[in-house]
Amino acid sequence: MSEVLQTLEGWYALHDFRKINWNSWKALTEKERRASIDQLSLYVNHWDSVEHNHQGSTAIYTIVGHKADLVIVHLRPTLQELNDLETAFNKSSFALHTEQSYSYVSVVELSNYVNNPGEDPMQNPEILKRLKPIMPKAAHICFYPMNKKRELADNWYTLSVEQRREMMRAHGMIGRKYAGQVKQIISGSIGLDDWEWGVTLFSEDPLTFKKLVHEMRFDEASARFGEFGSFYVGNLLDHERMEKMLEM
């Protein structure tokens, strides 16, 4: 049996993708729409206060294309908190005019492939910062789920730990070339959702997503062992843009 490397876990993550029922939304009176927008703003303000107190983080983005109209990404200390805030939002008057087109549940994760042996990682402030991150409010987001293959000769889970470590080191070197251009949050979802990992990227330039993912396609860890789900790309939705998007 191949050696199992333990992972480090931080905050739980929920990617909540929503489609807006524009016909239903347009059928409201101006007063009803205003009340729903005001209620939505209260939720956003509450999420902002949670982030300000370092008890979690939330980011809201529009999604380009047919897959969704927006995504609300929540990070919280417990799975129960994610459940509670999702339920509370579903009870809002704005949520009545949305449909959850997709969702993804995971937990922020760091691999032990690159950690220093003999060091207690949970005493390292930089590691704690990565496990409990405040999401950057960059102009653009890219999210996709992925697996490592388990097919005959290309079975990631039958490789030795040395082989996996070397490939992940090479994989990480590509990512370092984009330091300052892309920030990422890797979340593990084995046993939590249908894929094994969720990857969330943030950047001021959406072309950076294309260049980074394209270059990583040639890396052995991706070329031989990577399987990828649907990609979701969008733009930051702040208070001003939210008002403009929802006005009729």
Q: How confident is the model at residue 116 (pLDDT cuts 50, 70, 90)?
A: low
Other C-beta atoms closer than 10 Å to the C-beta of 27 total 11
Domain hosting residue 104, numbered range: 8-246
State percent of the chain over pLDDT 90: 84
Residue 214 in any domain: the answer is: yes
- Of the residues 61, 144, 178, 232, only one is catalytic, namely 144
Buried residues in 88-104 as b, exposed as e (16+ CB within 10 A)? ebeeeebbebbeebbeb
Give the ranges where 2-133 is alpha helix by DSSP (H). Answer: 22-27, 30-52, 79-90, 125-131
When pLDDT is averaged across residues 208-227 and rounded to a whole number, the result is 94
Annotated active-site residue 61? The verdict is: no
Q: Give how many domains the chain has, as a whole number.
A: 1
**31-61: pLDDT as tens digits:** 999 999 999 999 999 999 999 999 999 999 9
Residues 6+ apart with CB under 8 A from 15: 71, 72, 73, 102, 103, 104, 106, 143, 198, 200
**DSSP H or E run through 5:** none
When pLDDT is averaged across residues 205-215 and rounded to a whole number, the result is 97
Tokens of 85: 């805030």
When pLDDT is averaged across residues 18-30 and rounded to a whole number, the result is 97
Compute the distance between CA of residue 69 and CA of residue 21 in angstroms, rounded to an integer.
Answer: 10
Task: State the pLDDT at residue 20.
Answer: 98
Question: What are φ and ψ of residue 172, in 5° steps?
Answer: -65, -30
Q: How confident is the model at residue 113 (pLDDT cuts 50, 70, 90)?
A: low
Residue 1 in any domain: the answer is: no
Mean pLDDT of the chain: 94
71 Rama class: left (phi>0) / alpha (psi -120 to 50) / beta? beta
CATH value at residue 37 = 3.30.70.1030
Residue 171 in any domain: the answer is: yes
Residues 6+ apart with CB under 8 A from 244: none
Residue 73 in any domain: the answer is: yes
Long-range contacts of 40-48 (CB under 8 A, 24+ apart): 40/92, 40/94, 40/242, 41/239, 41/242, 43/88, 43/89, 43/92, 44/239, 44/242, 47/74, 47/85
Task: State the pLDDT at residue 248.
Answer: 84
Q: How many CA atoms lie within 13 A of 143 on its CB side?
A: 30
Residue 102 in any domain: the answer is: yes
Residue 24 in any domain: the answer is: yes
Tokens of 211: 């260049």
Task: State the pLDDT at residue 100.
Answer: 97
Task: State the pLDDT at residue 115.
Answer: 56
**145-169: pLDDT as tens digits:** 999 999 988 999 999 989 998 999 8
Task: State the pLDDT at residue 123.
Answer: 80
Residues 6+ apart with CB under 8 A from 136: 183, 202
SS3 of 77, please?
coil
Of 51-60, 171-180, 232-241, the poorest mean pLDDT is in 171-180
Residue 3 in any domain: the answer is: no
**121-145: pLDDT as tens digits:** 778 888 899 999 999 999 999 999 9
Residue 219 pLDDT > 70: yes
SS3 of 149, please?
coil
Task: State the pLDDT at residue 88.
Answer: 96
Compute the distance between CA of residue 59 and CA of residue 11 in angstroms, rounded to an integer.
Answer: 14
